[in-house]
């Protein structure tokens, strides 16, 4: 596996490097909100999933949802992080029309989950070999989501939908260990795979179930290493926060734009302002949303309506026992049990449904062949068509059937591609297609000999030449394969041709 190489951007005054830390908001997969019993289902009519607590009616009291706490602990364990038996809810005060309380209940000084670490698998966007790097997690805390202001339904009015108000979020904060745009996207991918495997968040980015704030700064080569050696953030540049990114592609585009913007400011003698920016995918630019508040602007204080959260170690241990196989463990098993490369194992275990599909295809079959067909043919087709695995026109059982036909010599790999295309077109099961279309490989040497004889007889000159130039045998193989409609067994064709041509 290749090593991580520095990512440098050439400026007018020399080289620059990137530093990023991400804050990911993952919505807890819970039917009820963090402090009320209101429902959380997506797409409900506006303001229908709102309890008196969520609407912040005077005198209402929040009641902590035990299930949400359990999911936060579960996620912390999945991130190999410290679980804090003592944590506390604080009020983060700010005014916004979609925040009727006038404050968000969050965890500031005492989060439920402390430091952890995840392995991030990176496939560089601009070529280069895949590699893995460790990204430190600073913390995970529980907090409420806000409602939504809707500005585009009416030219003269803004509407407020409080369905999302009070929904439980896990904010997962990374250390600034991320150094390239591809690493940032890969970090989110890995985090998403982990929470999906744990079942603690649906990870549906289009629905905003998982969204990332990307903090970007630039510095001169060597500065980051000084930061790592001392832990002193002053070695790094001033960061800007790119808010609410929910697509892997936009994350990378936004970072590239933002890095160049900051470099230009510094190189022309300016100073980067710490601010929150939004990415405009149409223009491919980031623009300022607001100057970044510091913690003291929010007047955090312990929420007097809620007691500190104390969880028992025994409960944490019980939750630990129910953890499923996580993506990294699954990848290790795929490498060991199926003999797959780290790369293929990584592709297949990046998402739980892909791994399950592969395991069904490979059951009792040639696993490497199965991995090739799943990752290249099937995923290639799905990608091209923009389809999800759940929309696949080919079931795992049928793809397995096709691989069985290749392995037992019924069809060649080449014919299998034709059968695959017919399966996609809905022509049925692989064995039936082979039968109906007469695609069985011809291993009957008598039949192959007949074709070989005819072709040699029709091409006496070529047959003479091949004796001196054995490399032209391929031409004969091609002719025989063509005459047999691709059905002749290639090994038998080669053997018979060599015997008859005397080479
Ligand atoms: P806030 O909520 O105020 O944005 P957090 O502590 O929740 O602050 O998150 C700050 C994020 O910014 C972390 O992911 C951290 O790693 C990252 N970060 C801090 N300093 C820098 C920097 N100089 N460059 C890039 N990222 C940074
Ligand atoms: Mg934050």
Domain ranges for the chain, please list them.
Answer: 8-318, 327-437, 445-501
pLDDT tens digits, one per residue of 83-102: 999 999 999 999 999 999 99
Q: Is the CB of 160 under 6 A from ligand 1?
A: no
How far apart CA 25 and CA 444 sit, in angstroms, is: 63
Q: Is the CB of 23 under 6 A from ligand 1?
A: yes
SS3 40: coil
pLDDT at residue 434 in the model: 92
**pLDDT of 499 over the 90 cut:** no
Q: What percent of the chain has pLDDT over 90?
A: 77
**Minimum-distance ligand 1 atom for the alpha carbon of 292:** 3
Nearest CA to ligand 1 atom 22: 239
Q: Is the CB of 62 under 6 A from ligand 1?
A: no
How far apart CA 407 and CA 75 sit, in angstroms, is: 42
Query: What SS3 string covers 332-396?
Result: HHHHHHHCCCHHHHHHHHCCHHHHHHHHHHHCCCCHHHHHHHHHHHHHHHHHHHCCCHHHCCCCH
pLDDT at residue 217 in the model: 98
Ligand 2 ion: nearby residues, β-carbon < 5 Å: 23
**pLDDT of 1 over the 60 cut:** no
Question: What average pLDDT score do residues 23-33 get?
Answer: 98
Number of neighbours of residue 338 by Cβ within 10 angstroms: 18
Half-sphere exposure of 487 (CA within 13 A, CB side): 19
Number of neighbours of residue 151 by Cβ within 10 angstroms: 9
pLDDT confidence band for 292 (50 / 70 / 90)? confident
pLDDT confidence band for 127 (50 / 70 / 90)? low
Ligand at shortest distance from the CA of 262: 1
| Range scoring the smallest mean pLDDT among 211-215, 354-358, 478-482 | 478-482
This prediction has a pTM of 0.83
pLDDT tens digits, one per residue of 133-170: 999 999 999 999 999 999 999 999 999 999 999 999 99
Choice from 18, 19, 21, 227 to test ligand 1 binding pocket (greatest atom count within 8 A of CB): 21
Q: Is the CB of 351 under 6 A from ligand 1?
A: no
Start-to-end Cα distance in the chain: 43
**Minimum-distance ligand 1 atom for the alpha carbon of 294:** 3
pLDDT at residue 197 in the model: 93
**pLDDT of 20 over the 80 cut:** yes
What is the DSSP track for 399-453?
Answer: HHHHHHHHHTTSS-HHHHHHHHHHHHTT---HHHHHHHHT---B--HHHHHHHHH
281 to 4, 218, 389: CA distances (angstroms): 29, 22, 27
Q: CA 424, 436, 387 angle in degrees (round to 5)?
A: 5
Choice from 25, 116, 176 to test ligand 1 binding pocket (greatest atom count within 8 A of CB): 176
- Residue 320 Cα, ligand 2 centroid: separation in angstroms? 27
- Residue 232 Cα, ligand 1 centroid: separation in angstroms? 13
Instruction: Identify the CATH class of 445-501.
Output: mainly alpha
Q: Is the CB of 275 under 6 A from ligand 1?
A: no
How far apart CA 400 and CA 381 sit, in angstroms, is: 17
Ligand at shortest distance from the CA of 174: 1
Number of neighbours of residue 355 by Cβ within 10 angstroms: 22
Interstrand relation of 14-27 and 8-11 (parallel, antiparallel or unpaired): antiparallel
Contact status, residue 183 vs residue 122, Cβ threshold 8 Å = yes
pLDDT tens digits, one per residue of 448-490: 888 889 999 998 888 888 888 888 888 888 888 888 888 888 8
pLDDT confidence band for 218 (50 / 70 / 90)? very high
- Angle of helix 460-468 versus helix 445-458 axis, rounded to 10: 100
pLDDT confidence band for 2 (50 / 70 / 90)? low
């Amino acid at each position: 596996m290749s090593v991580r190489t520095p990512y440098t951007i050439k400026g007018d005054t020399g080289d620059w490097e990137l530093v990023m830390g991400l804050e990911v908001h993952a919505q807890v997969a819970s039917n009820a909100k963090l402090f009320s019993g209101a429902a959380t289902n997506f797409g409900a009519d506006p303001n229908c999933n709102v309890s008196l607590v969520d609407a912040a009616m005077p005198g209402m009291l929040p009641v902590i949802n035990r299930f949400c706490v359990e999911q936060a602990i579960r996620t912390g364990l999945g991130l190999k992080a410290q679980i804090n038996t003592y944590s506390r809810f604080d009020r983060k005060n700010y005014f916004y029309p979609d925040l009727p309380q006038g404050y968000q209940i969050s965890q500031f000084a005492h989060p439920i989950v402390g430091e952890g670490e995840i392995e991030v698998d990176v496939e560089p966007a601009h070529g280069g070999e895949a590699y893995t790097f460790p990204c430190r997690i600073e913390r995970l805390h529980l907090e409420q989501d806000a409602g939504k202001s809707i500005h585009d339904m009416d030219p003269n009015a803004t509407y407020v939908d409080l369905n999302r108000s009070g929904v439980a979020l896990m904010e997962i904060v990374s250390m600034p260990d991320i150094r390239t745009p591809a690493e940032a996207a890969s970090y989110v991918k890995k985090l998403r795979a982990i929470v999906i495997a744990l079942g603690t968040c649906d990870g549906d980015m289009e629905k905003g179930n998982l969204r990332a704030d990307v903090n970007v700064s630039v510095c001169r080569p060597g500065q980051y290493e000084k930061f790592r050696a001392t832990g002193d953030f002053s070695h790094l540049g001033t960061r800007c926060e790119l808010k609410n990114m929910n697509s892997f592609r936009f994350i990378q585009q936004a970072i590239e734009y933002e890095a160049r913007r900051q470099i230009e400011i510094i190189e022309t003698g300016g100073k980067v302002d710490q601010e929150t920016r939004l990415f405009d995918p149409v223009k491919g630019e980031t623009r300022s949303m607001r100057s970044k508040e510091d913690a003291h602007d929010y007047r955090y204080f312990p929420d007097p309506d809620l007691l500190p959260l104390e969880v028992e170690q025994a409960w944490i241990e019980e939750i630990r026992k129910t953890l499923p196989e996580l993506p990294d463990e699954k990848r290790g098993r795929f490498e060991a049990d199926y003999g797959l490369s780290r790369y293929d194992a990584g592709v297949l275990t990046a998402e739980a449904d892909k791994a399950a599909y592969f395991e069904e295809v490979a059951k009792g079959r040639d696993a490497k062949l199965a991995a090739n067909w799943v990752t290249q043919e099937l995923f290639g087709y799905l990608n091209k068509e923009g389809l999800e695995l759940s929309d696949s026109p080919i079931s795992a059982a049928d793809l397995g059937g096709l691989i069985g036909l290749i392995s037992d010599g019924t069809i060649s790999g080449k014919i299998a591609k034709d059968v695959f295309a017919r399966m996609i077109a809905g022509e049925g099961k692989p064995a039936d297609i082979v039968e109906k279309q007469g695609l069985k490989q011809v291993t009957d040497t008598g039949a192959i000999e007949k074709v070989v004889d005819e072709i040699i007889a029709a091409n006496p000159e070529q047959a003479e030449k091949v004796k001196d130039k054995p490399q032209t045998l391929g031409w004969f193989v091609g002719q025989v394969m063509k005459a047999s409609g691709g059905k002749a067994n290639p090994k038998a064709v080669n053997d018979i041709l060599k015997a008859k041509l005397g080479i």
